Structure 1
Amino acid sequence: MKKILLLSLFFISFIGTSQVTIKQTKDDNDLKLSALPYYSFGKGLGLTSPDSIFQLNIRFRMQNRVTYLENDGENGAYDGQIRRLRLRFDGYVGNPKFLYAIQLSFAPGDVGEIREGENINIIRDAVVFYRPNRHWNLSFGQTKLPGNRQRINSSGGLQLTDRTINNAKFTVDRDFGFQVHNLNEFKDKFSYNFKAAISTGEGRNSTEKPDDGVAVTGKVEAFPFGAFSKDGTNFEGDIVREKKPKLMVSGAFQQNNHARRTQGQLGNDLFDTRTMKSVMLDAMFKYNGWAAMMSYMSRTTNKNAVTFNPDDITETSFAYVGNGFDYQASYNTKSNYEFIARYSVQNVANDIRALAPNTKQYSIGVTKYIWEHAFKLQTELNFDTLNFADGTTKNNWYLRFQVEIGI
């Protein structure tokens, strides 16, 4: 009953504050929505009705890549693919305070394998916003949760071709629910943001049987020297060459009650639910072409992470628990050639030590920015060391070239 009352009060307050009249300005299509930190050099293709009742912006981006890889004990191989192909629509309807955003994905790596009885994962974002002023964003729908910095950033704003091994295992991802963001960013003085979300905890496009478990996420961001130029928090590397040192530190926490999947919102199904707690800490620094990032991520469960098939006890599925650190540094020259180095270490928890390796990852890369992050050429050399519980070690590496282009 208390939950129903709280939701009712939320809707009443939302409707009550929405009866407003706003004068349109030249910046109305500058969304600045903190739950949608897509890197965008321009504003895409925009359409606005003659009476200014609605606006539609259209954007696309794609990543084409070729990789040569050698995994320990296997022959070398080549892989060429469209890693990402995204189409995004955003704008407002009726009033610039009421906004929407839709993002669709079409690449095989985004959609995933089509399996009988499961959804096709084309929809990445489908969310509506109420933005009463520049300090508040309220949203309802499916989009990214306020988790770790690298996951929140668009894959189009990365320095290297992929996110880290820790992001792959310990991140909190897109989910369906409510979010409230309070933004207090200023150019040259201390700034801070508060972000919170209540979501289903099941991940994107879930149509599983409803349960009584929800995910609660909270995040705090602090900018001791003021906000980054051109929303620089939302992309890696100092491509704008900050004239003054800029620093961001942040911390996020999520509790996902009765999670059904191995990584909360991501992964395969568990045979039994687990309540998962995630901690994510980040720091980002930029100045005069130099940039550095550091992050810590961890996940724990309320009981043993390994679950067993009740019909066949020899078959198991486990929540991915453990922790990891990422360290990344770069320098962008005045001719927009960027040199990047990254080191990651990942340690799994004792519950799953016999089932998953501890991993170290070393990456170096060179990126040429032609049109900032919107059009760039990337090369990356990556080396992984996997240490298993039985004392064996595997070494895998790849060399990759990627082209990113979008509007």
Structure 2
Amino acid sequence: MKLKLTLLLFLVGLSAVAQIDIRKTTTDNDLKLSALPYYNYGKGLGITSPDSIFQFNIRFRMQNRATYIQNEDEDPAIDGQIRRLRLRFDGYVGNPKFIYALQLSFAPGDVGEIQEGENINIIRDAIVFYRPNKHWNFGFGQTKLPGNRQRVNSSGGLQLTDRSINNARFTIDRDFGFQVHNQNERVDKFSYNFRGAISTGEGRNSTDKPDNGLAYTGKVELYPLGAFTKDGAYFEGDLMRETKPKLMLSGAYQYNDKARRTGGQLGNDLFEKRDMQSILLDAMVKYNGWAFMSAYMQRIADNPITVNPDDATDIQYIFTGHGFDYEASYLFPSNYEIIGRFSTQKVNNDIVTLAPNAKQYSLGVTKYIWEHAFKAQAEVTLDDLSYFDGTSKKNWYVRFQVEIGI
């Protein structure tokens, strides 16, 4: 009994010290970095050493979902899965200006299939940042590139259960390299951010033979009416109920030299390396519970089709083309939200015989129990596919999802 009481007092004391020290440091060291958006209601569970030499934060989140799928000319199917299960650790060592962030994934959809000769894709983020002041971040390691808004946002900060068809096809994702971020945000004044990265171009956890091709990414973000409340540009929906209209405009460009994969950082391996370019434009408006987002995405590549030299019928191609997303929502005072999204996608003539043009219609209802950190979501989505030969298909699904995390 005495041992149990001593242990309890020790844990209570440790918790109190951690809470006090975290409050001291978070003003100078906001661990919700622009390069690592991870929606959280608070700051996770943290410990700071008594001498403030290090800080350690731990967070988790999971998405459990059930889906009824009806694809044209196929039998209906029911799918239940843990879509995402992730752990994140962040903090600093020695000085709050030196920040680390790690994120690990364990769900099958995150890790991917285990293939002979391939490494397991558990590591999502592993990066260290040097932050000399509130305006500059210098990063080295693996994390998300400064790409389109919906990809940069955490999947935990989405209004619907998944990102759009255009994000799936045209996004640039995680990569290993150097990043520089210059941030100039004020709530009540014109604000702007500049972001850049030089990375391998091969995607996360690549163990391919090194080459001399790199990816170069640049991005500009503008906030003409001032920055959003509580980093509201990094999650969907107007959960903060902006009292004044807020607007974000952004544009990103990437040149991936000698890319090895069909989607640059994502996709299957090409049979020959190709250069590709990505153009990503976004707009976001929030006011008094209303939110609207729009996006344009495009990928460009010369001669995007590659052929297996040992089998002419075996091909891999870069998905070239462009698409638009439009998404609108309203959050009721009861914290129920209704969401609608419409996407169009058009493939380039080079691959028009290999992939269909597409339209996607989604309607959703979300109940926020603890903002984005604990929510229940219901969604119905229709995909309308138009093929080169004049045929078409309509596929749809109904999905229920629960997200919880700290």
TM-score interval, normalised by the smaller of the two chains: over 0.9
Cα displacement (A) at 1:392: 0.7
**Pairs within 5 Å for 1:274-285:** 274-285=274-285
Aligned length: 383
**Other-structure match for 1:358:** 357
**Other-structure match for 1:192:** 192
Say if 2:147 is the partner of 1:166: no
Cα displacement (A) at 1:201: 0.0
**Other-structure match for 2:379:** 380
The answer to whether the 8 Å contact 2:29/2:97 transfers is: no
**Other-structure match for 1:346:** 345
Cα displacement (A) at 1:63: 0.2
**Other-structure match for 1:401:** 400
Q: Which amino acid is the alignment partner of residue 101 of structure 2?
A: A
**Pairs within 5 Å for 1:23-102:** 25-28=25-28, 30-102=30-102
**Other-structure match for 1:238:** 238
**Other-structure match for 1:143:** 143
Cα displacement (A) at 1:38: 1.1
| Cα deviation code 1:109-150 (max 9, x no counterpart) | 000000000010000000000011110011000000000000
Say if 2:318 is the partner of 1:328: no
Cα displacement (A) at 1:304: 1.0
The answer to whether the 8 Å contact 2:328/2:339 transfers is: yes
Cα displacement (A) at 1:311: 1.2
Cα displacement (A) at 1:27: 2.3
Say if 2:368 is the partner of 1:369: yes
The answer to whether the 8 Å contact 2:32/2:38 transfers is: no
Q: Distance in 2 between matches of 1:73 and 1:248?
A: 42
The answer to whether the 8 Å contact 2:320/2:348 transfers is: yes
SS in structure 2 of the partner of residue 364 of structure 1:
strand
SS in structure 2 of the partner of residue 96 of structure 1:
coil
Cα displacement (A) at 1:29: 5.2
Q: Distance in 2 between matches of 1:134 and 1:243?
A: 26
Q: Distance in 1 between matches of 2:181 and 2:309?
A: 42
SS in structure 2 of the partner of residue 231 of structure 1:
helix
Q: Distance in 2 between matches of 1:194 and 1:320?
A: 28
Q: Distance in 1 between matches of 2:46 and 2:147?
A: 30
SS in structure 1 of the partner of residue 262 of structure 2:
strand
Q: Distance in 2 between matches of 1:184 and 1:95?
A: 23
Q: Distance in 2 between matches of 1:26 and 1:361?
A: 41
Cα displacement (A) at 1:396: 0.2
Cα displacement (A) at 1:32: 3.7
Q: Which amino acid is the alignment partner of residue 71 of structure 2?
A: N
RMSD (Å), alpha carbons:
0.8
Q: Distance in 2 between matches of 1:214 and 1:296?
A: 24
SS in structure 1 of the partner of residue 120 of structure 2:
coil
The answer to whether the 8 Å contact 2:299/2:321 transfers is: yes
| Cα deviation code 1:336-375 (max 9, x no counterpart) | 0000000000001111100000010000000000000000
The answer to whether the 8 Å contact 2:278/2:297 transfers is: yes
Identity %: 73
Q: In structure 2, list runs of 5 or more residues that go unmatched.
A: 1-23
Worse overlay, 313-322 or 179-188: 313-322
Cα displacement (A) at 1:33: 1.4
Q: Which amino acid is the alignment partner of residue 147 of structure 1?
A: G
Q: Distance in 2 between matches of 1:390 and 1:341?
A: 30
Q: Which TM-score applies when normalising by structure 2?
A: 0.93
Cα displacement (A) at 1:34: 1.1
Q: Distance in 2 between matches of 1:26 and 1:305?
A: 47
**Other-structure match for 1:6:** none
SS in structure 2 of the partner of residue 335 of structure 1:
coil
**Other-structure match for 1:10:** none
Cα displacement (A) at 1:30: 2.6
SS in structure 1 of the partner of residue 284 of structure 2:
strand
Q: Distance in 1 between matches of 2:348 and 2:26?
A: 52
Q: Which amino acid is the alignment partner of residue 195 of structure 1?
A: R
Q: Distance in 2 between matches of 1:321 and 1:120?
A: 28
| Cα deviation code 1:206-257 (max 9, x no counterpart) | 0100001000000000000000000000000001100000000000000000
SS in structure 2 of the partner of residue 208 of structure 1:
coil
Q: Distance in 1 between matches of 2:339 and 2:26?
A: 37
**Other-structure match for 2:14:** none
Cα displacement (A) at 1:190: 0.3
**Other-structure match for 2:286:** 286
Q: Which TM-score applies when normalising by structure 1?
A: 0.93
SS in structure 2 of the partner of residue 280 of structure 1:
strand
**Which contiguous aligned blocks of 4+ residues in structure 1 show a shift greater than 3 angstroms?**
none
Q: Which amino acid is the alignment partner of residue 356 of structure 1?
A: A
SS in structure 2 of the partner of residue 142 of structure 1:
strand
Q: Distance in 1 between matches of 2:260 and 2:351?
A: 17
Q: Which amino acid is the alignment partner of residue 109 of structure 1?
A: G
Structure 2 CA distance for partners of 1:26 and 1:200, relative to 1, 3 Å: closer
Q: In structure 1, list runs of 5 or more residues that go unmatched.
A: 1-23
**Other-structure match for 2:224:** 224
| Cα deviation code 1:234-283 (max 9, x no counterpart) | 00000110000000000000000000000000000100011000000000
SS in structure 1 of the partner of residue 268 of structure 2:
strand
Q: Which amino acid is the alignment partner of residue 83 of structure 1?
A: R
Q: Distance in 1 between matches of 2:303 and 2:189?
A: 46
Say if 2:82 is the partner of 1:104: no
